[in-house]
Amino acid sequence: MTQHQPLLAPATDAGARVADGAFLIDVRSDGGRAAAGTIPGATITDRDDLDAIFGSASAPAVSLDTPVVVVCGSERGSGPVAEALAARGYTNVTHVEGGFPAWRDAGLPASPGTGATPSGPHEPVRQRA
């Protein structure tokens, strides 16, 4: 099987894919989403537990030809997830250049966050001074 490479796309292009029916997943931490905001309709998943949404690699729960758009805080977070999905055989995977900030700044659907800065995956979120 040939592995398809995920596409790193500008937020507007990724938003158009979602508008056309792509499956949108948000792999940011709870703190990241709370601080920066959420994307209405996005499926939230842990980047380290893709099986929870996609099923195992040997028995996918989502069709391998389903268009998928991955959002994180930046492409450094979404890229490894997009690559993992491509390695599982997904043939139409896109992740967002600039991550959620670019998505929000492009005027795509987003709910506001608290504006707090997440300090780490297990630390409480602290308000900016």
As a whole number of angstroms, the distance between CA 9 and CA 34 comes to: 24
Whether the pLDDT of residue 7 is over 70: the answer is: yes
Residue 115 has a pLDDT of 82
Whether the pLDDT of residue 121 is over 50: the answer is: no
How large is the average pLDDT for residues 78-92? 96
| Percentage of the chain lying above the pLDDT 70 cut | 88
How large is the average pLDDT for residues 15-27? 97
- What does the pLDDT look like over 60-83, one tens digit per residue? 999 999 999 999 999 999 999 999
